[in-house]
Structures are given as structure tokens and as C-alpha cells.
Amino acid sequence: MPNIPRFHLAMPVNDLAEARRFYGETLGLEQGRSSDTWIDWNLHGHQFVTHLAPKTERVSNPVDGHDVPVPHFGLVLSVDDFHALATKLQDADTKFVIEPYVRFKGERGEQWTMFLLDPAGNALEFKAFADDSQVFAA
């Protein structure tokens, strides 16, 4: 099997049981190894780890008329996967920081995006480009 580059990201959480429910049940991520202080998750082939840690202060920056939380973690999905996840989250009565919508409509970099917080207050962004060549468009 070829060595495919993958990212590893660790996010702080304040309750592993809540993290297990949110990431495992609500988002549907497969759980990997774990201990009493962390859980590994399979995030579309990437290693995503939730670690018990204190919260940090959040700020936001204006983007396309919305206050985007900083820092945040994001994942680029296909348009179909984005809409399936948005529907799943809406059906679960998820409170969004920014509801699913099209950002930069009709412009370079047009994308579907949504922001939400996990139970520990970590900001998550999921987005999708109709044209993947626009992901890094200047």
C-alpha cells in the first residue's frame, strides 16, 4: 500500500463521553484507539484525536458577512457529502454558528460552508466546492 500523506490533528475536549457521542454518533466517525485521556477518530482517512484539555478563548473574523470562529478546524467534502452531513446535523437539531449556505456566490472560490461547535466548544467547518480547482484559487 502506498504511503499517502495524511494529516494528524489534536483538538482539546473537556469530556470524552460527550466527545464520543458527538464525533462517534452525531458525525458518524469511526473510533480508533483510546485511553482515559484521548480518543483517535478516522476522519475520512485522517487521524483526528480528541484530548482532554482545558478550553481556550475564541475570537472571530468577518468573512462574507459572517463572524467566522478562530481557531477552527475544517474539512473539504464533496457537494453530495456536504449536503448529506448538513441534513444529518439539522435532523439532530444541531445549533450552527453559521447555518449551511453558499459563500462567495458567483465569485471565485464559491463554496458551500457551515460552522458548528463540538460539545467542548471547538469550532468545526465543513465545506464543499462545486469546482475543486477553486479550493486554492487566489
pLDDT at 1 over 60: no
3-state SS string for 78-92: CHHHHHHHHHHHHHC
Spans of all domains in the chain: 8-52, 60-134
Out of 3.90.1200.10, 3.40.50.970, 3.40.50.2300, 3.10.180.10, select the CATH number for domain 8-52.
3.10.180.10
pLDDT at 27 over 60: yes
Residue type, 114: M
Candidates 105, 104, 86; CA nearest to 96 is 86
Question: What is the per-residue pLDDT for 108?
Answer: 86
> Cβ distance 12 to 122 under 8 Å?
yes
Q: Which CATH code for domain 60-134?
A: 3.10.180.10
Angle at 9 between CA 86 and CA 73, to 5 degrees: 40
> Cβ distance 39 to 20 under 8 Å?
yes
- On whether the pTM is more than 0.75, the answer is yes
pLDDT top residue among 27 and 130: 27
Is 60-134 in the same CATH topology as 8-52? yes
